[in-house]
Amino acid sequence: MAEEEVIPVEEGVGPVPVLKWDQGLLEQIVWGFIFQAEWDARYPQQGQTAANAPPCYITLFADFFIDGNFRLPATHFMATILHFCGFHISQLSSMGMVRIRHFEFVCRSQGLEPSVDKFRVFYQLIRNMGFYPFAQRGAKKILINPPKSFHDWKMKFFFIREELMSIAMLFRESDRIEKE
């Protein structure tokens, strides 16, 4: 595994990884996914991390849009999942986004309204390195060939106005997850 490039920071603070994408990709996302100007998507400054969004902004990851089929404004189902699980969208992993959006597409294609209860038949919440993906529950498969990995997805983030999410989101502090 190659060593990750870092930039120097203040004394007493650990190194901050270098951003793994450029502003041009953010501009492609803004244009391609038809972001409104008032959403004010912002490319991070060198040294900023996904954890330090400016006041009144949230962090989103480029792979949410590129590989996860996430769209703004977020759907009611997305808001419901985040509220039920009790974590902030910036704590959701790219694989978690893929599973949520795929499930929603499958339900809608079958004329069903997606719900948390239906989602939980197939997936359970897990914690992985500070982020929340969803693991397949038992042998119940709905996503047959999920992506194997997302390279550097944590380093490809941007900030956007927080009012785009229709619920108040709290950061989940605990790494303890109740068994379902």
Is 46 a residue whose pLDDT tops 90? Answer: no
pTM (two decimals) = 0.81
Give domain limits for the chain. 20-164
Give the pLDDT confidence score for residue 130 in this predicted structure.
81
Quickly tell me which residue has 């203040």 as its tokens.
Answer: 10
Per-residue pLDDT reduced to its tens digit, 115-124? 999 999 999 9
Per-residue pLDDT reduced to its tens digit, 71-88? 998 999 999 999 999 889
Of 169, 71, 145, 84, nearest to 120 by C-alpha is 84
Give the pLDDT confidence score for residue 123 in this predicted structure.
92
Categorize the per-residue pLDDT at 170 as very low, low, confident or very high, splitting at 50, 70 and 90.
confident
How many angstroms separate the CA atoms of 29 and 161, rounded?
Answer: 15
Quickly tell me which residue has 């004394």 as its tokens.
Answer: 11
Quickly tell me which residue has 């996430």 as its tokens.
Answer: 70
How many angstroms separate the CA atoms of 54 and 66, rounded?
Answer: 23
